[in-house]
Chains A and B, each alone.
Chain A
Amino acid sequence: MREPEAASSAMWELTKMRLREFYREKGIIFWVFVFPLLMAIGLGIAFRTRPAERPRIAVVAEAGGALANALLESPRLSAELKDATTARRELAHAKVDLIVELTAAQPSYIFDPALDKAPVAKMVVDSVLQQAAGRRDPLVTRDVTETHQGSRYIDFLIPGLIGMNLMGTSMWGVGYNLVLARKRRLLRRFAVTPMNRANFLLSYFFSRVLFLVLEISVLVLFGRLLFGSIVQGGLLTLIVVGFLGAASFAGISLLIGARIENTESANGWMNLVQLPMWVLSGTFFSYERFPEWLHLPIRFLPLTALNDALRAVFNDGASLVGCASQLLVLGLWGATGFLVALRTFRWQ
Chain B
Amino acid sequence: MEQVAISCRNLRKRYGQKAAVDGIDLTVPAGSCQGLLGPNGAGKTTTVEMLEGLSDPTEGAIELFGVAWKTGQDQRLRERIGVQLQETQLADKLHVDEVLTLFRSFYPSGRRPEELLELLDLTEHRHQQYCRLSGGQKQRVAVACALVGSPDLLFLDEPTTGLDPRARQALWGVVTDFRAKGGTVLLTTHYMEEAAALCDDIAILDHGKVIARGTPRELVDGLGDVQFLDFELATELNEAQFSAAPFVRGINRKGKRYRLTLDRSLGSLRQVLEFLEAQAAVPIGLSAHQATLDDVFMRLTGRELSAETIDASGPKADPANSGKSNNESNHA
Q: Does A89 contact B (CB under 8 A)?
A: no
Q: Which listed segment binds B: A101-109, A144-152, A189-197, A252-260?
A: A189-197
Q: Does A14 contact B (CB under 8 A)?
A: yes
Bound CA–CA A72/B87 (angstroms): 81
Bound CA–CA A347/B52 (angstroms): 14
Contacts of A8 in B (CB 8 A): 101, 104-105
Q: Mark A13-44, 1 if CB is under 8 A from B, else 0.
A: 11011001100110000000000000000000
Q: Mark B86-129, 1 if CB is under 8 A from A, else 0.
A: 01111111100010011111111111100000000000000001
Residue of A nearest to B86 (CB): A185
| B interface secondary structure, majority | loop
Residue of B nearest to A10 (CB): B105
Bound CA–CA A24/B106 (angstroms): 23
Contact A20 B104 (CB under 8 A): no
Q: Would you give the shortest CB distance from A288 to chain B, in whole angstroms?
A: 43
Q: Would you give the shortest CB distance from A199 to chain B, in whole angstroms?
A: 9
Residue of B nearest to A8 (CB): B105
30 A-B contacts, Cβ less than 8 Å apart?
A3-B150, A5-B112, A8-B101, A12-B105, A13-B105, A14-B105, A17-B91, A17-B94, A20-B98, A21-B94, A24-B93, A24-B129, A184-B89, A185-B87, A186-B89, A186-B91, A188-B88, A189-B88, A189-B90, A189-B145, A191-B54, A192-B54, A192-B78, A192-B81, A192-B83, A192-B85, A193-B83, A194-B75, A194-B78, A194-B107
Contacts of A2 in B (CB 8 A): 109-110, 150
Contact A193 B111 (CB under 8 A): no
> A-B contact count, CB below 8 Å?
92
Bound CA–CA A5/B98 (angstroms): 17
Contact B90 A186 (CB under 8 A): yes
Q: Does A1 contact B (CB under 8 A)?
A: yes
Contacts of B83 in A (CB 8 A): 189, 192-193
Q: Would you give the shortest CB distance from A152 to chain B, in whole angstroms?
A: 40
Contact A3 B110 (CB under 8 A): yes
Q: Would you give the shortest CB distance from A202 to chain B, in whole angstroms?
A: 14
Bound CA–CA A322/B275 (angstroms): 102
Contact A14 B79 (CB under 8 A): no
Q: Does B55 contact A (CB under 8 A)?
A: yes
How many chain A residues touch B (Cβ–Cβ < 8 Å)? 31
Contact A20 B106 (CB under 8 A): no
Bound CA–CA A3/B104 (angstroms): 11
Bound CA–CA A13/B102 (angstroms): 6
Q: Which of B52, B98, B106, B111 contacts A10 (CB 8 A)?
A: B106
Bound CA–CA A194/B109 (angstroms): 11
Q: Does A9 contact B (CB under 8 A)?
A: yes
The 6 A-B residue pairs with the shortest CB-CB distance, nearest first, are: A184-B89, A13-B105, A195-B106, A24-B93, A194-B78, A10-B105
Contact B53 A192 (CB under 8 A): yes
Which chain B residues numbered 127 to 158 have a C-beta less than 8 Å away from chain A?
A: 129, 145, 149-150
Q: Which of B53, B76, B88, B109 contacts A185 (CB 8 A)?
A: B88
Contacts of A20 in B (CB 8 A): 93-94, 98
Bound CA–CA A194/B52 (angstroms): 12
Contact A194 B54 (CB under 8 A): no
Contact A348 B54 (CB under 8 A): yes
Contacts of B54 in A (CB 8 A): 188, 191-192, 347-348
Q: Which of B101, B103, B129 contacts A193 (CB 8 A)?
A: B103
Contacts of A9 in B (CB 8 A): 105
Contact A21 B107 (CB under 8 A): no
Q: Would you give the shortest CB distance from A31 to chain B, in whole angstroms?
A: 16
Q: Does A4 contact B (CB under 8 A)?
A: yes
Q: Which of A4, A16, A188 contacts B85 (CB 8 A)?
A: A188
Residue of B nearest to A9 (CB): B105
Q: Does A321 contact B (CB under 8 A)?
A: no
Contacts of B102 in A (CB 8 A): 13-14, 16-17
Output the residue of B55, B90, B93, B105 with the most chain A CB within 10 A.
B105
Bound CA–CA A191/B78 (angstroms): 9
